[in-house]
Chains A and B, each alone.
Chain A
């Protein structure tokens, strides 16, 4: 039996615990409710903020879309306006409406030459070659080019390189009349401008004073005939021809024919593909000279020595090839010419060497220049053989690199020879020439270049020469 007192105590304790528990429980629940309420309120506030942010974001997105649309429309309008402006400008020019058109073109170069030879290192003005093209409709073109250069003595020299009328009479035939660049080979007619050929000077034996004819005055028939995928080209020329000068034949276009013996020649070529061309050239002409008139003293002693016209022949043939695929530019040209038929000075007879002369110095002495000109006349037998050739390789580095500077570089190497035989007086020009250069192309027709040139003269009395050249050339 549980004592009543203990039972009462137990009941009281339990009651008290229950009361206190309820009391504490209610307090805790209240605290929990307050916390939850705060949290709930906080969450509600955050939800409101989130909603507000979403609305703001939506509005920003709409604004951006609207701005992009506006920019896109503006860009389209700008492009349209630019197209309209170009079309208007084009219409204003009305190019095809005019039957007569003209064009100023040409090229120029400047540079510096350093040499270990006798000449001093010099800045050079090079060439200024303005060209003029006047075209009427699509069948008549007059074209002309001058060469303006500063000489070593400071004087300005002006020469007419060519002056020709081109009549394009059909798709296959063009008449060319006037003074024209020689169609022999490729170099003179197409490569001689300094912005076109790859080095600062022509190959040995090409250019002024070389084996390569420069120009002639006469008539050409030229054109191209497509044959399937290949092309056959021709250039047939008849002209006043070369003249005999003091240092051999002068292969330029003269304003008159000195001997009535016209030159005949030209070039035939085949292009089996657009990047490969092979050609052959030929030229034949008569040359004239006279023997010297005896002076008064000799005339008394030898009545049989009279001035007599002398005639000889000039003949040239050549081959050329060019491969220009992709970044490669490979070229080869070979020219061989000879002068023969002139009588040699007879060393067995008791004649002075200067009694038998050739060329224009004799003709000049027959005019008003008198004895002084005769004494300056050149005594030489003009019979001789010339041979000049070169091989050249160039590669544009844009084929192997896209670097903005390196891609515009173009290394070049060239080797060529000039050989004259049968005449010791001309043989001092014989040389073997090696060139290595580097071009930097600012633009397709603007180039800066540096070149080393090694000239090995075959005449033992002539010192070899090495040159370093820098040049800037521009074709406009």
Chain B
């Protein structure tokens, strides 16, 4: 492999590692307060409709329990590269809609 490309990619990877470690430390230091957002349900409903059929058919909120939606959405956030805020909105919508 071209040595210059390898060096650039290694440098980029190292930089991202450093940024993410700093970000993790920052996130741990500034834990946001959990406040109820009245518009989160609506945002979550829209995000669910737009995002959760990108690969597979849209699954009803009533298919799974709150606990399993908690894990399933985390898995989809990683697998589908979902933005974190959107994943939280979708999780809130699903858990509020599966009664």
A interface vs B, CB < 8 Å?
86, 90, 93, 95-96, 98, 101-103, 105, 133, 135, 138, 141, 143, 166, 168-176, 186, 189-191, 195-196, 221-226, 231, 233-236, 238, 261, 264, 269, 274-275, 277, 284-286, 313, 315, 322, 324, 441, 444-445, 475
Contact = CB atoms under 8 A, between A and B. Distances in A.
A213 to B, nearest CB: 16
B70 A96 contact: yes
B78 A445 contact: no
B81 A221 contact: no
B1 A173 contact: no
A191 B55 contact: yes
B53 A324 contact: yes
Given A186-B55, A221-B17, A223-B81, 13 more contacts: A101-B67, A105-B72, A135-B70, A135-B71, A135-B74, A141-B71, A143-B75, A168-B74, A171-B27, A175-B20, A195-B56, A224-B82, A444-B63
Q: Which 5 A-B pairs have the closest CB atoms?
A: A274-B50, A95-B67, A171-B84, A170-B23, A169-B24
B54 A444 contact: no
B50 A101 contact: no
Contacts of B99: 86, 90
Given A95-B66, A135-B70, A170 B85 contact: no
21 contacts: A102-B71, A103-B68, A103-B72, A133-B74, A133-B75, A141-B75, A168-B74, A169-B23, A170-B20, A170-B24, A171-B27, A171-B83, A171-B84, A173-B19, A174-B78, A196-B55, A196-B56, A222-B81, A274-B47, A284-B1, A445-B59
Majority DSSP secondary structure for residues of A touching B: strand
Nearest to B91: A138
A275 B81 contact: no
B82 A264 contact: no
Interface in B1-41: 1, 5-6, 9-10, 12-13, 16-17, 19-21, 23-24, 26-27
Interface residues of B, number: 48
A101 B17 CA distance: 28
A269 B80 CA distance: 11
Contact of B70 (A101, A169, A172, A195): A101
B81 A235 contact: yes
Contacts of A190: 55, 79-80
Contacts of B82: 224
B60 to A, nearest CB: 7
B70 A95 contact: yes
A172 B71 CA distance: 18
A79 B11 CA distance: 62
Contact of A96 (B66, B75, B79, B83): B66
A103 B71 contact: yes
